[in-house]
Structure formats: C-alpha cells, structure tokens
Chain A
Amino acid sequence: MAICTGCSLLCEDIEAAEKDGALSHVKNLCRKGHGHFQAAYTERTVPMIDGEQVDLDRAIAKAAEILKSAKSPLLYGWSNSTLEAQAVGIKLAEKLGATIDDTSSFCQGILMERILSGKLPTCTLDDVRNYADTSIFWGSDPSSSHPRHLSRFSYYPRGDKRQKSYEEERTCIAVDVRKSATANLCPNYYFQVAPGGDAQFMEAILAVLEGKIPKVGDKKKMIGLGSILKKTEWGVIFAGLGMVYSLQEKMDLFERLVAKLNEITTFKVVPMVGHYNMRGFNELLLEKTGFINRVSFKDGKPAHGPEHSVVASAKTCDAALVIGSDPFSALPFGTARALAKVPLIAIDPRRSLTTDGAKVVIPSALSGMEAGGTGVRMDGVKIKFEPIIKSDLPTDEQILTRIMEAI
C-alpha cells in the first residue's frame, strides 16, 4: 500500500506500483492524488545555477555559499517536506540565524495556533467517522480540495456510533459564500454568507443558542440551524480558508462560539489544512521554539512576529531558500517580486514559476513516492510512509543536511 501526499488526508489505502516506468491501474487515488502521483513523471528539475545545468555537488555548494554569506536569510516552504526534513531545516535556520516561515503564515496559522494550544477543542478524523452526527464545513469545499474527506470520514462512511451514517445519522452543513460542490451535496443545509460576513453569522448563531432573535435575513432558517446544533450529540466544525480569511483578527469570536457549543453538547474543530505536512512543521517549530511559524533566530533566541512572516521577510531578506513551495505562483505579486530580487535557492522536484526565477535549483525526490518519511495529517495523526518509486534523487533531508555541513 502506498500513501498519498497530495493533501493533508494522507490516504493510506493507495494501491500503486510502477511498471515499465509508469503508474497505471492505480487504485483509490482521487483525481487530485492521481495528478500528484502522475506529476512524478514530468517537468522534473535538474541542478542549475543561473539557468545553466551543473552537477548536484556544485549546486549544493553554491546554495551553502549564498546562505552562509547572507546577513538575513529567509528559509520558506516546508509544508511539502517530511518531519525529518523539517527538523533539519529548523536546525539550519538556527545555525544561520535565519528567519524561518511556512505556508501556514498566510493560510491556517491563526487557526492552527489555537488548536495546538488547546484553545479550540479538537479530535482525530477517525473520531469523526466513529462519533460525529453533525459535520460543518465552514468556508471549505472538501469535494474540491480534499476529495475523499466526505467518503472516508465526515459524511458517508459508517462508524462505531454511526452505523446508519449519512442516510439517517449524519447531517452535513456547508457555510460558504457560494454554492460549492460540497454545498450541492447538502443543499437543504447550505447557509450562504457574504464575503466578510462570517463574524455576523457567528453572532447570529450565538444569539439563537442563547434563545434570542438572530440579526440576520432568514431568521427561520437560522433558528432551524440552532435546533440542529442543540440536538447534535457530537459535532465537528471543519474550518477552511474561507472562514480564516474572513475572521482574521476576530478569531476570538470563533473561540466564543465553540465554547458556547461545548456548554450545550460536544463540538470539536479540525483545520482543513492544504499541504500534506503543514501541521507537521507547525508542531515541530512549536515544540522547538514555542511558536508555530514566523520565527527569526537572528538574535540567537527565537523571536516571533508578523515582521518575520514570509510576506514581510520577502522585502527585508537578502537571500532565500524555498523548499517544496511555489511562492511566485501562490503569493501576492508584490511578494513574488520581492523574492525575485534576492539570490533564491529553490529545492523542488518539479519545475515551477519559482524554480524558473531561482539562482540555484536543487532537484529533490518526491516525498511519499520517491522518498520516505513521516507526515502529520490535518488532525494530528502521524503517518509514516515508504517510497514506491525508485529514484537516485536526494531527499529534502539529505539536501538540507549537506547544506548544513557545508556552512
């Protein structure tokens, strides 16, 4: 059995075997995972310096040279690397006195903080399958982002206490700005909110739970939602970027809502993490420094703050290492432009906008397929995997270790 590193569900029932240099009749991979696996065969990177192909040793030496001589290097990416590689990366940041940040910085960070610190009660996906009778997808469309979420855990499968599953014992609710593919699966339980309107919606739920009249358009529908929540035996809110981006500084309101729900019944929160090992990085860095992201080792002791986020650091750093991420595609134009101005080292198995703009490109083995290691699922469960494709490429862990030795 192979494990898919296409998203943070880390599906473990994948049957994939390479035959004659290709994968076919692969079983159980969703469309997204299938694309992820097939990507192993195209647009692979080779070691490069200034657009010219070189041998691996030279590329690594150049990378070490750039980082060593930099006064404020930035090490960014991490969410597509194994725990083992991330651990080396954090050590490297410490050795260099560098700033280290991951994708959670502009993604699930403010939610993850609260989950890892215990401010928001959480659970495993297996708990969800066994106990949950109400699953709420808030600002999240798992059908599109985590395709097997509903069939493996949150709505369709049977569980210990939910043998009659979605037909009789589970309710799926979608709160979103649009009628997503997921909302179409539970059209009677779709609640539309305006962009930025999630805070108001939460206030309305709180009102209903306290027996007051909610300040929203459809009061009847809101009161209906209140009834479902009150009757829930074991609920879970899957919080997506839609909610996080809408609330931002108002995350305390979400804490209040969850606390109120837990006065009435049991309600947990699970973050809908994108990349397969973002949570792994957050947990490691938290353990090491007390912070989940945006850390600077410049003054020896780890410092944390928005000035150390990738978006801010892109403008102040004088060199950058980007590992397993494509900020030129995924971050705001200004951030990409800022990163393009400094010597950039890209460690990536495949060509991207970032590798195209990098001074040094170091090819790596794809974790989950060509490299083994450990990943942390969106719910905190650690999953260890072995490679299924033979590769001579160095793993992230090996590359980082070699860079560290050369510094």
Chain B
Amino acid sequence: MAAEVEVTVVTMRDIFQDEAGRKSRFSDEYRDQSALIILDKQDMATLGAKDGQSLQVKNDVGSVVVAAKTSEDNPHQGLAFMYNSPWSNQLVSDAVSDSSIPGFKSIKATISAAEENVTQISEIQARIKG
C-alpha cells in the first residue's frame, strides 16, 4: 500500500506565480509556478517524496497531479499550501454554506505519490468543457 498523507490545503498568493499568470495562463512557466504543493518536511518524509516529484492530490471534488515542494516555514504537519490557480480549483467544492463562499482555504485532500507527470492546463480545460 503506497504511503498517503491527509492534509488541509490552504491557498495563498505568490508574487512570482501571479506574474507568470498575468503573462499567460497557458505557459510552461505558469504551470511550473502553479502546479505545486508545499508540504511540511515530515509529510514529505512520510510520502518518501523529493522536491519536484509528482504527487497526486485527491478529494471528493477531483484529483490533480502537481509537483512537491518542501516548506521553508516552521513545521506544519497536516497543513499544505497551494497557490490559487486552475490546479488548486480542481479540488475546491462549489457546494456552499449560507455565505456562499467556497472553501478556498480549507480544502481537505489526500496526497500520494503519482506515476504521471504534472497535469497540463489543456487537461484541466478539457475537464471543464466536459
């Protein structure tokens, strides 16, 4: 049984990822800057993951393959960070509470090692088109 980690994903802003997104949503640069998940060192170890390795992030809403990145922050096991992007939004539910605000900063997901490469933007576009 492959190693799995349960996390809460919180989305955040990054000035370099924002810059890449302003230039183009379709570039390799935007994908490289956006399709990643920042994990606590311990969680990385549990997964046996290295920086840049493909990880599958999955929940009831969907699943996406992104690159692993080790966090430089104080330990935060069980908490993972992604930049707000089409990749993170594959995991955000549109079922909303009274305030009708989606849970952008409280996404529950399971992470495991992935065989495939990082999900391409064209794949996300195809999924949206249905």
Direct A–B contact present (CB less than 8 angstroms) = yes
* Chain A contacts to B: CB under 8 angstroms: 31-32, 34-36, 38-39, 42-43, 105-106, 109-110, 141, 143-145, 147, 177-180, 192, 195-196, 241-242, 244-246, 248-249, 294, 306, 309, 311-312, 314, 326, 328-338, 340-341, 351-353, 356-357
Main secondary structure of the interface of B (DSSP, over half): loop
Chain B residues near A351 (CB, 8 Å)? 24-26
User: CB of B90 within 8 A of chain A?
Assistant: yes
B-chain residues with CB within 8 Å of residue A314 when the two chains form the complex: 94
Given contacts A105-B100, A177-B79, A353-B25, contact A141 B19 (CB under 8 A): no
Check A357–B128 contact: CB distance below 8 A. Answer: yes
B23 CB contact (under 8 Å) in A39, A105, A110, A356 = A39
Q: Which of A31, A241, A340 contacts B129 (CB 8 A)?
A: A340
Query: Assuming A32-B19, A39-B22, A340-B130, is B61 touching A106 (CB within 8 A)?
Result: no
Question: Is A141 within 8 A of B76, CB to CB?
Answer: no
Contact of A195 among B94, B99, B105, B125 (CB under 8 A): B105
* Pair B25/A36 contact, Cβ less than 8 Å: no
Q: Which of A248, A249, A329, A335 contacts B94 (CB 8 A)?
A: A335
**In whole angstroms, what is the CA distance A242 to B21 when docked?**
21
Q: Find out whether the CB atom of B89 lies under 8 angstroms from the CB atom of A331.
A: yes
Which residues of B have CB within 8 Å of A306?
96, 98-100
Contact check, B23 vs A35: say whether CB atoms are below 8 A apart: yes
A110 and B99 contacting across the interface, CB-CB below 8 Å = yes
Task: State whether the Cβ of B106 lies closer than 8 Å to any Cβ in chain A.
Answer: yes
Across the interface, do B99 and A332 meet the contact criterion of CB distance under 8 Å?
A: no
**A249–B99 CB distance below 8 A:** yes
CB-CB under 8 A from A309, the residues of chain B are 96, 100
Instruction: Give A39 to B102 CA distance when docked, in angstroms.
Output: 29
**B13:A145 contact, CB within 8 angstroms:** yes
Select A242's contact among B25, B84, B98, B105, beta carbons within 8 Å: B105
Knowing that A178-B10, A330-B84 touch, tell me 17 more A-B residue pairs with CB under 8 angstroms: A39-B23, A43-B24, A110-B101, A144-B14, A178-B73, A178-B76, A179-B74, A195-B8, A241-B104, A309-B100, A311-B96, A328-B128, A329-B89, A332-B93, A333-B62, A333-B90, A333-B91
Q: In the complex the two chains form, is B18's CB within 8 Å of A332's CB?
A: no
Q: Which residues of B contact A337 (CB under 8 A)?
A: 127-128, 130
Contact call B85/A35, Cβ cutoff below 8 A: no
- Looking at the complex, which one of A106, A195, A332, A338 makes contact with B106 (CB distance below 8 Å)? A195
Kindly list chain B residues whose C-beta atoms are within 8 Å of the C-beta of A326.
25
Report A184 CB to chain B, min CB distance, Å. Answer: 10
Asked if A106 and B100 sit within 8 Å, CB to CB, the answer is yes
A306 to B96, CA, bound (A): 9
Instruction: Give min CB distance, B35 to chain A, whole Å.
Output: 13
A43 to B92 Cα, complex, angstroms: 28
Contact of A332 among B19, B23, B97, B102 (CB under 8 A): B102
Known: A178-B76, A329-B86. A245 touches B8 (CB 8 A): no
Which of these, A141, A195, A294, A328, contacts B79 with CB under 8 Å? A195
CB distance A334 to B94 under 8 Å?
yes
- Chain A's nearest CB lies how many Å from the CB of B30? 10
Give which listed residue, A244, A334, A356, contacts B93 with CB less than 8 A: A334
Q: Bound state CA distance, A31 and B22, in angstroms?
A: 11
Q: Sample 29 A-B pairs with CB under 8 A, ordered by A number.
A: A31-B19, A34-B19, A43-B26, A109-B101, A141-B13, A177-B10, A178-B73, A178-B76, A179-B74, A180-B12, A196-B106, A241-B104, A311-B96, A311-B100, A312-B100, A329-B85, A329-B86, A329-B89, A332-B61, A333-B61, A333-B127, A334-B94, A334-B95, A335-B94, A337-B128, A337-B130, A338-B94, A353-B124, A353-B128
A295 to B42, CA, bound (A): 47
Inter-chain CA distance A68–B130, complex, in Å, is 26
Bound: A306/B19 CA distance, A: 32
Q: Does B2 contact A (CB under 8 A)?
A: no
Q: B19-47: which have CB < 8 Å to A? A: 19, 21-26
